[in-house]
């Protein structure tokens, strides 16, 4: 048995695992520490209005706030230097004022009208509430898309200029 053990120890056995040499590792580490960096992706702008896009990107949160009821006061009074935010803040404030005035007028009219017209005005008021919600969503979609587009119907009504 001793002979078999000695014979096996004399055989050259190749290692199963290939462990990289230290020189290979240090060579890679040297290339990293020498400042070799992968190239950065190119930043291209497809739109010629880069100043409008930069204003849109930096003001999206404030633009969204413009269409959330009384939160429209924050961008209206807070962001005076960003034209994108100012546009949407004015749109949101106009929408807010219309959302307050129209139900007040319909509510006051419903008290002096007969019961049949009262029910009709209440139905119209409910439908207008849904319409105002849809206009808020359209405004938020415009903000997220970076568009300075007026809201349908109420966009042409400029209470706040």
In the chain, the percentage of residues whose pLDDT exceeds 70 is 65
* CB of 88 closer than 8 Å to CB of 60: no
Mean per-residue pLDDT, 5-34 = 53
Within-domain flag for 85: yes
Tally of domains in the chain? 1
pLDDT at 4 over 80: no
Reported as a single tens digit per residue, the pLDDT across 107-131 is: 888 778 787 788 888 888 889 999 9
The residue ranking higher by pLDDT, 46 or 66, is 66
Residue 3 pLDDT: 52
Within-domain flag for 67: yes
State the Cα–Cα distance between residues 11 and 2, nearest whole angstrom.
15
Range of the domain at 115: 55-156
* CB of 92 closer than 8 Å to CB of 139: yes
* CB of 66 closer than 8 Å to CB of 60: no
Residue 47 pLDDT: 42
Within-domain flag for 6: no
pTM of the model: 0.60
Within-domain flag for 120: yes
pLDDT at 1 over 60: no
Q: Which of 127, 151, 156, 130 is nearest to 66 (CA)?
A: 151
Residue 48 is given by DSSP the state: S
23 to 20, 26, 27, 37, 161: CA distances (angstroms): 8, 5, 6, 21, 71
Confidence class of residue 39 from pLDDT cuts 50, 70 and 90? low
Confidence class of residue 142 from pLDDT cuts 50, 70 and 90? very high
Residue 81 pLDDT: 86
Within-domain flag for 43: no
Within-domain flag for 76: yes
Residue 45 pLDDT: 40
Within-domain flag for 38: no
């Amino acid at each position: 048995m001793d002979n078999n053990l000695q014979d096996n120890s004399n055989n050259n056995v190749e290692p199963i695992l290939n462990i990289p040499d230290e020189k290979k590792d240090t060579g890679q580490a040297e290339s990293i520490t020498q400042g070799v960096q992968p190239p950065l992706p190119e930043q291209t702008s497809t739109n010629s209005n880069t100043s409008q896009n930069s204003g849109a990107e930096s003001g999206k949160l404030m633009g969204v706030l413009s269409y959330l009821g009384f939160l429209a006061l924050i961008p209206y009074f807070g962001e005076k230097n960003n034209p994108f935010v100012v546009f949407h803040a004015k749109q949101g404030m106009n929408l807010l004022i219309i959302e307050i005035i129209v139900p007040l007028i319909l509510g006051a009219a419903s008290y002096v009208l007969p019961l049949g017209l009262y029910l009709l005005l209440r139905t119209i008021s409910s439908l207008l509430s849904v319409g105002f919600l849809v206009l808020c969503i359209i405004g938020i979609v415009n903000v997220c898309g970076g568009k300075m587009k007026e809201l349908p119907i109420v966009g042409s009504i400029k209470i706040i200029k």
